[in-house]
Structure formats: structure tokens, C-alpha cells
């Protein structure tokens, strides 16, 4: 059966959907979908046939909704009510959806969503309706979680690929938390992550984690981009150690693992906290092929002079093809793609609004 590469691009003003039917040599672009709304979260659920697109649309007037499309974005089923909302008595209102994460293939109808304020929601009907995960919301640390620069975001949700009881989440600011009982109880998992902005630089919680990634074939290995710092855990997040050596900076936002090669990970370093652009204005993706022990800059086809933009936490991704494709979108509205695991790049679209998130997958044509 013929296949397509599908790339969903969420921006400050709507969602675009790009498809390639020729091995990622050329792309067709549709959009904007919901051009007034910001899209911080999008997911491609390949557990079902046809695959389902899920997008968190946020209207400044009407608030957030999660819409679904079962025809690659041609039409959208947008609910006429807030499908993600706190129950009565929670004294909170969902202002934004930061993450949409399908669960493992063993739970084909379960989808998780991370929101602002910091909360986790679970859907049991493919992403159409959600319930609050009370165990995390009622955690005694919650009163001390505070907003990061972008908001009070639960921006990373990593369901375990084979054990539905295990879920890892990350937030700004608060750090990494894990459950091993399906969300009933949670514990902080930040040992070894430095928080230089706090009096105790290695606290139990309070870190400003930017993104965490996990390889599906090795679920106990996690990679983390912090504010600042780049880390790896080989025990499911119980302990972390720095892997920033070899990078030009330990500050950045995205962290992406290769879909097949367990030791390959990608990052996009920025110069510093107060200089949120690539060092020297040179656009470079960094790849490690030894789980962060060393890093190689990848720049063929990328602008090497005057690139003063940035790549946000969910604005980099990989597809599941062989060889894998790598993608990122910039705050200046450009989207770049590599069909050869980062060796070479081409710009597939420009002049979009601020790119907030990208997701890619191979789907039936």
C-alpha cells in the first residue's frame, strides 16, 4: 500500500498540514485550519485506522478545545463545549492545552492531555472527552509549582509503551513526576537535575524542565532538556546525569529521540537564557549517536548567518520512516525537514506564524 508522510504544524495562528507522497522530496500544504486560534499541542494517533489527528485549539475569546480529524485534516470534529475542564469545586479553569499524547497500543482509545494550569487529563474515547487525573492534581507539591516563562505548563506526557500503570510527566516549573499505579499516586523524580535559580541547587522538585523524551524500545532511558542543563536517565527517571559536554550551550527547549536507533538523540541549543537564539546566529541541530556522550552539529542546508530565531519545546520531531525524517519549525515561521536523519536539510515552508509544535508520521496514502 502506498504511504504518505504527514506533518502537522501548530502555530500562533492556526494549524497547517503538510503531506509528501514521494519520499519527502516535495510537500503539499493545507491550512490554516482554525486561523484565529493558537495551537500548542498536536498529535497523530497511528494506533487506529485511519489515523487520527488531534489538535488543541485555543481561542482568546472562547478558551481551549481539542478537535479531531479522521481524514488527515480535511475536516475537523470540533466540540461545541469544553471537553477538557476541571470538575466542579476544583477552583481552576483550563486556559491552554500544552500536550496531547496517545497511550500505548494496548490502550487504543486512551489519550492523555497536559494543560495550563498544571494538570493531567485522561480520555477513554480516543480524545473526544477527558477527565482530570486527580492523583496529580491533589499532589501536596502542587501549591508550590509556579509558572515558567511560557506559563504554568504540563508540557510533557510520556505513557509507558508496555505498562499502562507507568506515566512520566514534566512541567515548568516543578520538574519530573512519575506514577506506577496509573495516576493514583505520583512522586518527584529530579535527583541530579540542577536548579541554579533556587537556594538549594538540587531540590526534590522545582526544576524548570523544558522537555523530556523517551525511546519506545528502551523505556527506562530518558533524555531531558532543563533550564539550564541537558541530562540522561537510565533508570526511568530515578537519577539523572549531565550529558551537556560537547554542546555549545546547555540551554534550549526541544529534546527528540530517534524512532529506531536507541542511542540517537537530537537537540537545538540556544546561546543562553537571556540570548534565546542559536550561538553566533548559526542554525544547527545537534545529534548524538552515543546517548549524549558526544554531539555533532548538523547544518547542511540550514542558514549559517543571521538566524536569530529559536525552536520551541515541541517544535522539533521525527517521523517513523526508514531512514527517519527529522523536522523543526522556528519562531520566525520557517519549517525545515531532513529526509536522512539530519545529514541534510531543506526548507519546506516559510512565512508562517510563530511555530509552536510539529508532529510527523507515516500514514496510509
Chain segment 199-239, per-residue pLDDT in tens: 999 999 999 999 999 999 999 999 999 999 999 999 999 99
Cβ contacts of residue 80 below 8 Å, gap of 6+? none
pLDDT attached to residue 234: 97
Q: How far apart are CA 93 and CA 87, in angstroms?
A: 9
Task: Average the pLDDT over each of 54-68, 236-250, 260-274 and give the range with the smallest value.
Answer: 54-68
**Which backbone phi and psi does 135 adopt, to 5 degrees?**
-60, -40
pTM surpassing 0.95?
Answer: yes
Assess contact for 230 and 240: CB atoms under 8 A: no
Pairing of strands 187-188, 218-226: unpaired
Provide long-range contacts, Cβ within 8 A and 24+ apart, for 202-205.
205/141, 205/144, 205/145, 205/174, 205/175, 205/177
Question: Which of the four pLDDT bands, split at 50, 70 and 90, describes residue 360?
Answer: very high
> Where does 160-293 show beta strands of DSSP type E?
167-172, 175-179, 187-188, 209-215, 218-226, 230-233, 241-242, 251-257, 265-270, 285-288
- 315 CB neighbour count, 10 Å cutoff: 24
Q: What 3-state class would DSSP assign to 315?
A: coil
Instruction: Residue 112: name the closest of 47, 43, 176, 19 by CA.
Output: 43
Q: Which three cell numbers stand for residue 335?
A: 519549517
- Residue 81 above 80 pLDDT? no
- Closest among 50, 25, 15 to 321, alpha carbons compared: 25
Strand partners, 157: 169
pLDDT computed for residue 1 by the predictor:
59
Q: Could you tell me what percent of the chain has a pLDDT over 70?
A: 100
Q: Which residues pair with 214 in a beta bridge?
A: 222
pLDDT given for residue 150 in this prediction? 87
Domains present along the chain, CATH in parentheses: 3-364 (2.130.10.10)
| Cα–Cα dist 41/242, whole Å | 28
Between 58-67, 126-135, 210-219, the lowest mean confidence (pLDDT) is in 58-67
Strands 14-20 and 3-11: antiparallel
Q: In whole numbers, what is the pLDDT of the chain averaged over residues?
A: 96
Residue with the bigger pLDDT between 89 and 248: it is 248
> Mean pLDDT across the stretch 143-160?
94
pLDDT at 83 over 90: no
Amino acid at each position: 500500500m502506498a504511504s504518505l508522510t504527514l506533518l502537522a504544524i501548530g502555530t500562533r495562528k492556526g494549524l497547517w498540514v503538510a503531506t509528501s507522497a514521494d519520499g519527502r522530496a516535495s510537500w503539499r500544504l493545507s491550512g490554516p485550519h482554525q486561523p484565529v486560534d493558537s495551537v500548542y499541542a498536536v498529535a497523530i494517533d497511528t494506533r487506529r485506522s485511519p489515523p487520527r489527528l488531534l489538535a488543541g485549539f485555543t481561542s482568546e475569546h472562547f478558551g481551549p478545545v481539542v478537535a479531531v480529524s479522521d481524514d488527515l485534516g480535511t475536516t475537523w470534529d470540533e466540540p461545541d463545549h469544553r471537553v477538557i475542564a476541571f470538575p466542579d469545586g476544583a477552583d481552576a479553569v483550563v486556559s491552554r492545552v500544552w500536550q496531547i499524547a496517545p497511550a500505548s497500543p494496548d490502550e487504543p482509545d486512551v489519550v492523555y492531555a497536559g494543560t495550563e494550569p498544571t494538570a493531567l487529563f485522561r480520555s477513554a474515547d480516543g480524545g473526544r472527552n477527558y477527565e482530570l487525573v486527580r492523583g496529580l492534581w491533589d499532589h501536596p507539591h502542587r501549591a508550590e509549582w509556579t509558572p515558567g516563562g511560557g506559563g504554568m505548563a504540563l508540557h510533557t506526557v510520556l505513557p509507558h509503551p508496555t505498562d499502562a500503570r507507568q506515566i512520566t510527566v514534566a512541567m515548568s516549573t516543578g520538574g519530573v513526576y512519575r506514577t506506577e499505579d496509573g495516576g493514583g499516586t505520583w512522586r518527584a523524580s529530579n535527583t541530579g537535575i540542577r536548579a541554579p535559580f533556587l537556594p538549594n541547587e538540587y531540590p526534590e522538585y522545582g526544576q524548570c524542565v523544558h522537555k523530556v523524551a523517551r525511546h519506545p524500545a528502551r523505556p527506562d532511558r530518558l533524555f531531558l532538556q532543563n533550564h539550564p542543563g541537558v541530562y540522561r536517565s537510565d533508570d526511568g527517571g530515578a537519577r539523572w546525569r549531565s550529558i551537556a559536554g560537547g554542546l555549545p550551550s546547555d540551554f534550549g527547549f526541544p529534546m527528540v529521540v530517534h524512532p529506531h536507533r536507541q542511542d540517537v538523540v537530537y537537540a537545538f541549543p540556544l546561546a543562553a537564557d537571556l540570548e534565546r537564539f542559536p550561538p553566533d546566529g548559526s542554525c544547527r541541530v545537534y545529534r548524538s549517536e552515543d546517548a549524549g556522550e558526544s554531539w555533532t552539529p548538523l547544518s547542511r542546508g540550514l542558514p549559517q548567518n543571521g538566524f536569530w530565531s529559536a525552536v520551541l519545546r515541541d517544535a522539533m520531531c521525527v517521523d517513523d520512516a526508514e531512514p527517519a525524517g527529522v523536522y523543526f519549525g522556528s519562531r520566525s515561521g520557517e519549517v525545515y525537514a531532513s529526509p536522512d536523519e539530519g545529514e541534510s536539510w531543506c526548507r519546506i515552508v516559510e512565512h508562517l506564524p510563530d511555530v509552536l509544535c510539529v508532529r510527523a508520521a507515516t500514514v496510509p496514502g
